[in-house]
Structure 1
Amino acid sequence: MRIDKLLYFLRFAKSRSIARKWAEAGHMRVNGRRIERCSQGVHEGDVLTMPLGESIAIVRVLALPGRRGPSLEARSCYERLDETLDASPASPLAALRFE
């Protein structure tokens, strides 16, 4: 599945065009590799790293959604890996913030 479509279906982006701009900005990573194309393929088990507001979101794709459904349906398709990380200014994660 394309990264822009996935971000839209998982409700990270309000529209697919916004998701496309995020992917083409070059601030996202799939399995640690920087992406610059909105057509980048994403598969189950891939780890996405992306700026989300003032923090960084790290998610593992558990399943590829078939549609943009309700938020509970979307949340069942990914797992947040960054919830246990310390987001204090002294943490190593703070140095990775995207502009």
Structure 2
Amino acid sequence: MAGEDQDAVRLDKWLFFARFCKTRSVSVALIEGGKVRLNGTRVTKPGHVLRPGDTLTLALPGQVRVVRVASCGARRGPATEAQALYDDLEAAPRGE
């Protein structure tokens, strides 16, 4: 049963664990404000379930980030641990 918990996590917790938001209350505000899309669909409930393989589009202050969830994570760790939770889909240089 404990292994099942590793396969899914609340969206607000994941944004906090992955260091896209400084606090969970900031992540809740981002989600409820309509600034998050999960697999192309706007999500407004912080408790929405997120699983590895899901794609998130985040309208963050000054930038839009598109990431694929690689892992659910279990805590908010250092930046290197947080970066292992996702694959940045916008890593390629823009324009020519």
Which category of TM-score, normalised to the shorter sequence, fits these structures? 0.7 to 0.9
What's the counterpart of residue 84 of structure 1? 92
TM-score, structure 1 normalization: 0.83
The answer to which structure, 1 or 2, has the higher relative contact order (CA under 8 A, 6+ apart) is 2
TM-score, structure 2 normalization: 0.85
> Matched residue pairs, number?
88
1:8 aligns with 2:16: yes
Identity %, equivalent residues: 36
Identify which of 53, 75, 79 aligns with 1:45. Answer: 53
| Structure 1 unaligned blocks of 5 or more | 89-99
User: RMSD of aligned C-alpha atoms?
Assistant: 1.5
Q: 1: distance between equivalents of 2:95 and 2:19?
A: 23
What's the counterpart of residue 63 of structure 2? 55
Contact map agreement 2:35 2:60 (CA 8 A) in 1: no
